[in-house]
Amino acid sequence: MHTVCTDKQQRVRLPDAKPGQVFAYEADATGTIITLHRVKRAEPEVEVLDVDDLDPKTLAPRERGEVSNESIVRAIRADRDGQ
């Protein structure tokens, strides 16, 4: 068993913990016993793009809807009509 102290920012240094490890903590009803459980860090989901989803000129992801001159004109007219 190890004894640890909190600093002014309520941080505790765990001698056996590695940087980046994540722990879940639970306290009993009286708050006298605290238990730490090591948990796996949730990895962010990465969107996988198909080659067809990339703009051939910039290799950036394409917008979901194609933008054309006609669609821009329609959007401007619809905005003007709404005013």
Domain boundaries, the chain: 51-82
pLDDT at position 65 is 64
- Each residue's pLDDT tens digit, 51-81: 777 777 777 776 666 677 887 888 888 888 8
CA distance 2 to 5: 10
- Each residue's pLDDT tens digit, 15-54: 888 888 888 989 888 888 888 899 987 777 777 777 777 7
Specify the DSSP element, H or E, that contains 31: none
Q: What is the dihedral of CA 34, 40, 41, 46, to 10 degrees?
A: -160
Q: How confident is the model at residue 8 (pLDDT cuts 50, 70, 90)?
A: very high
